[in-house]
Amino acid sequence: MIKVGDKIPAVKLTVAAASGHEARAADELFAGKKVVLFALPGAFTPTCSAAHLPGYVVEADNFKAKGVDMIACLSVNDAFVMQAWGEQQNAEHITMLADGGAAFTKALGLEMETGDFGGTRSKRYAMVIENGEVTLLNVEEPKTFEVSKAEVILQAL
């Protein structure tokens, strides 16, 4: 599993935006930036839609005030789903990232198998990345939502 001090791998993610979808290598996407990346098991799922993404939407200005260049939300969903979810959640200040085949999630060692519920998904986590290097990593225990909340990450900055 990725850990503090590790570099982000050069695995492609799809930036899902109303202006179009663009595949970018994660190491290039995050290069030269201070990034808060949070990942969750699925778009449009209960905790993810009711609390996880909304927390970052509400706190976006506070993250920017702390020097964060990008707030990114990642899920093992396709780009169309991530785009629609971002629009539905008024997440215009959040970079929505699709990891459709879970390649990035697997490269980090943060995948989980959910069987018929959705197959391979991402564990719930949040990390801070500074110029491509992980400086903070908070991974949730299964079925919890405590350490990856926007408020917790904001306080750690």
Query: What residues are annotated to the active site?
Result: 48
Task: Quote helix, strand, coil % in the chain, to nearest 5.
Answer: 30, 30, 35
DSSP 118-152: TSEEEPPEEEEEETTEEEEEEEPPTT--STTSHHH
- As a whole number of angstroms, the distance between CA 33 and CA 138 comes to 19
